[in-house]
Amino acid sequence: MDNEIKLSEILSQIALTEGSNFQYEESAMLAEKEHRASNQSSLSIKILSIIGGFLATLTFLGFLAITGIYDSKISMVILGILFIGGAIFINLKTDHLLLDTISISIFAAGLALLVFGLSEMGLGEVVLSLIVMLISVLTMYSTKSYMLSFLSFAAISIAFITILMTFDNFNLVHIYLALYTFLLCYWCLNESKIISLHPKLNTLYNPIRIGLIIALFSGLIFIGARGIIGIQFNFIWLSSIVNAAALIYVVREICIVLEVQSQKTKLYVYALSSLTIIITFYSPAISGSILVMLLCFLVNYKTGFGITIIGLLYFISQYYYDLNLSLLTKSLLLFFSGIVFIAFYLFTNYMLKGNEKI
């Protein structure tokens, strides 16, 4: 009821501003708002459905191994195509949670069978990755499922980083991180522009947004934990420069939204931001997490904010563990880093309280 009242008030204000030519379908807007609210409230259930679908897929693939279907390349390809098509068909016909979970399982199994079959036929990793990208894009365009769209976008991200890794130069992960940092910032800061381009983008906006965050954190893990890949840490500053530029830009946008007018206050903000960048310069995973956290704070994206906090805690712990320093030095470093973060927290609260004009 409260949502209906708020929406009616907003529409009434717009109608007064635009005049008699302004037309809208209030009932359709209310229905869409209720549908979105339902999707948001069941996000945890959707996550559990993906986990269940993944486990079901592994079980089913194991069953197929027993039947001996993996001995036939053509059978795997044909069955994979049928599964992918069936998943899209099921999804187009219903939005029931159980069937949605089944479609996710079928899609994942179909994609795995198709990749296995084509790889057995001799196709290279680049060609396979491009095929996965094409199928995922077509699936995203065809489906109306939040979770299937997210899974398709995740497949695109995995295929992209697979292509980069075929060059046998793990330092290319910096290109991956720079690209996804830019895409995430653009996607979050231009929501109204993006969803107004096409009705399909309105449906895909949320799954792509969470997909960008997950994809970015997946890349940050490679540079946040030493030893996972053979990356040269002499070039770790490349990602830090990208994070620094994006961080300053996002801080600037936050100041605009919060209507920070005092030059003194802006000086404090940018000084704290610069100090954070300097402290985390050799740990772009930490600065990247802070960037995503500020970005989610700016657009009020609570799910992303929660994921970012977990990621930030992990990367700080990992960085502390990897330091080749004495325990005293590590403690002092963590101490001063904690002071900077607390200062950010206190300053943010100060701005949000609005006790005085800033």
The predicted-structure confidence for 203-250, as pLDDT tens digits, reads as follows: 889 889 999 999 999 888 888 666 566 666 677 778 889 999 999 999
CA angle at 23 for the pair 21 and 25, rounded to the nearest 5°: 175
DSSP-derived secondary structure for 49-66: HHHHHHHHHHHHHHHHHH
The counts of H helices and E strands in the chain are 15, 0
Specify the pLDDT at position 358: 42
Q: How far is Cα 317 from Cα 319, in angstroms, rounded to an integer? A: 5
Residue 24: CB atoms within 10 A of its CB come to 11
Please give the Cα distance from 161 to 156 (Å, whole number): 9
The answer on pLDDT for 168 being more than 90 is no
Report the percentage of the chain scoring pLDDT > 90: 16
From first CA to last CA, the distance across the chain in angstroms is 36
Q: Which residue has the higher pLDDT, 324 or 267?
A: 267
48 or 2: whose pLDDT is higher?
Answer: 48
The whole-angstrom separation of Cα 352 and Cα 264 is: 17
Please, are residues 53 and 104 in contact by the beta-carbon 8 Å criterion?
A: yes
Average pLDDT, the chain: 78
Task: Retrieve residue 350's tokens.
Answer: 């100060």
The pLDDT tens digits of the residues spanning 316-351 come to 877 777 666 666 666 776 777 677 767 766 766 665
Contact 298, 254 (CB under 8 A): yes
Q: Which residue has the higher pLDDT, 331 or 129?
A: 129
| Contact between 339 and 243 (Cβ < 8 Å) | no
Of the pLDDT bands very low, low, confident and very high (cuts 50, 70, 90), residue 41 is very low
Band the pLDDT of 34: cuts 50, 70, 90. Answer: low
What is the C-alpha to C-alpha distance for residues 209 and 232, in angstroms, rounded to an integer?
30
Task: Indicate the pTM of the whole model.
Answer: 0.78
What is the model's pLDDT at position 239? 85
pLDDT of residue 280: 82
Q: Which residues lie closer than 8 Å to 44 by C-beta, 6 or more apart? A: none
Residue 2: what pLDDT? 43
pLDDT digits over 268-323, tens only? 888 888 888 888 888 888 889 989 999 998 888 888 888 888 888 888 877 777 66
Q: How many residues does the chain have?
A: 358
